[in-house]
Amino acid sequence: MEQSVDIKAINERIKEESSFVDLLTMEMNKVIVGQKHLVEGLLIGLLSDGHILLESVPGLAKTLAINTLATIVDAKFSRIQFTPDLLPADLLGTMIYSQKKEEFIVKQGPIFTNFVLADEINRAPAKVQSALLEAMQERQVTIGETTYPLEEPFLVMATQNPVEQEGTYPLPEAQVDRFMLKLVLDYPKKDEEQMIIRHNLAKTFPKASTILKPEDIIRARQVVKDVYMDEKIEKYIVDITFATRYPEQYGLEKFKDMISFGASPRASISLSMAAKAFAFIKRRGYVIPEDVRAICHDVLRHRIGLSYEAEANNVTSEEIISEILNQVEVP
C-alpha cells in the first residue's frame, strides 16, 4: 500500500516539475515546423544528459533546432563544421605564446560551450573524432598539462551524412556507442513544407523566447532520476538488450548470423535513462513498457553490428529491433 502512495506522490511532483516541457515545446514549434521527433529527441537528450547523433539529408533544420534550444535555455551554443583537414586543436583549443606575458597561455576552443553542433562529424579523420570523445564521455578537456571541466549542461548533437556519400569516414563503434540516441530524420509533410516557405518569406523570421536557465535543466535532470521504474521494466530492458546479443535465446534464430555484435551495457543504461525522460516529458511519474518501446529504435539502431550476411539479405537494424520488440515478452 505504501508503495502506491509513494508513486502517487512522485507522480504529483513530476507533474509539477515537468510543467516547463509544454512551454519549451511551444517555443520550439514557433521556429521549427514539424520535426516532432527531432524536438522530442533533443529534449530526451537534454533531460537525461545524453548526446545525439542525427542522420539526414541536408536542409532539415538541424542547426536551427539546436540553436533554438540554446536560445530557449539561455545557454551558449557553438557549431563546428567537421572537415577532412580539421585538427584536434581546432576543436579543443591550444597553448599560445604570449609575448606580453612571456609565457604560454591557453586559448580555449569552441568545445567550451553548453550545446555543440558537430556538423558532418563523419567527414573528419579519427584523431579529431577521438578528441571529441573525451569531451563527450569525461565532460572534460585536456590542453597541455591542465584538465578543464566543461560547463553543465553539455550536449553534443552530431550530424552525419549517409555513409554512401563521398569523403566520409565511418564512425568507430566505440564512438557511436557514446551517443545516447541516433535519430533518423525524414522530409517534412506537404502542409509542413508550405508553412516552412511562409516562415522564410515573412518579413521577420519567428524567434523563440528565453524561458529557462541552464540551472533549471540541471535541476530537472535530478527530478528525472526520481521517476519510478519497476523491477519488471528493468528486466524488460535487460531482455531487449540481451536479445540483440543472443537472439537464439528469444526465438529469433534467423538473426543469429545477421548480428556481428549486440548492444553494450551502455545501451541498457541509455534505454532506462531515456525511458525515464520520456515518461517525464509525458508528465508521468513512473515508466510504462510503452515508454521503452517508444525510444527503443532511437537508442538501439546504432548499437547493433550487422554481418555481411545481413547486408546481403538487406536486413536492417530497424527490422531486427522491431522483431525483438514483437518477440520479447512485455511485462
Is the per-residue pLDDT at 133 higher than 60?
Answer: yes
Q: How many CB atoms lie within 10 A of CB 275?
A: 28
For residue range 137-196, what is the model confidence (pLDDT) as tens digits? 888 888 878 888 988 889 898 888 766 566 667 777 777 888 999 988 888 888 888 888
Share of the chain above pLDDT 70, in %: 96
Per-residue pLDDT of 219-273, as tens digits, reads: 888 888 888 888 999 999 999 999 988 888 888 788 888 888 888 899 999 999 9
Does 175 lie in the same domain as 39? yes
Which residue(s) pair with 148 in the sheet?
A: 141
Does 5 have pLDDT greater than 70? no
Render the burial of 208-241: b for 16+ CB within 10 Å, e for the rest: beeebebebbeebbebbeebbbeeebeebbebbb
Assign 280 to helix, strand or coil.
helix
DSSP-derived 3-state class of residue 139: coil
Contact 297, 321 (CB under 8 A): yes
Indicate if 246 and 307 belong to the same structural domain: yes
Chain-centre distance of CA 254, in angstroms?
30
Q: What is the CATH number for 305?
A: 1.10.8.80
Number of structural domains in the chain: 2
> Range of 205's domain?
20-217
CA angle (70, 132, 273) in 5-degree steps: 60
Task: Give yes or no: residues 179 and 260 share one domain.
Answer: no
Residues 284 and 149 in one domain: no
Same domain, 288 and 166: no
In tens, the pLDDT along 294-317 reads 999 999 988 888 888 888 888 888
pLDDT in tens, 206-217: 788 888 888 888
Mean pLDDT of 69-96: 87
The residue from 167, 191, 217 where one domain ends is 217
pLDDT at res. 167 = 65
Residues 134 and 180 in one domain: yes
Instruction: Indicate whether 14 belongs to any domain.
Output: no
Report how far residue 274's alpha carbon sits from residue 175's, in angstroms, rounded to the nearest whole number. Answer: 19
Strands 103-108 and 93-98 come out as antiparallel
> Are 56 and 62 contacting, i.e. CB atoms less than 8 angstroms apart?
yes
User: What is the predicted pLDDT for the residue at 299?
Assistant: 93
Distance CA 142, CA 140 (A): 7
Report pTM: 0.86
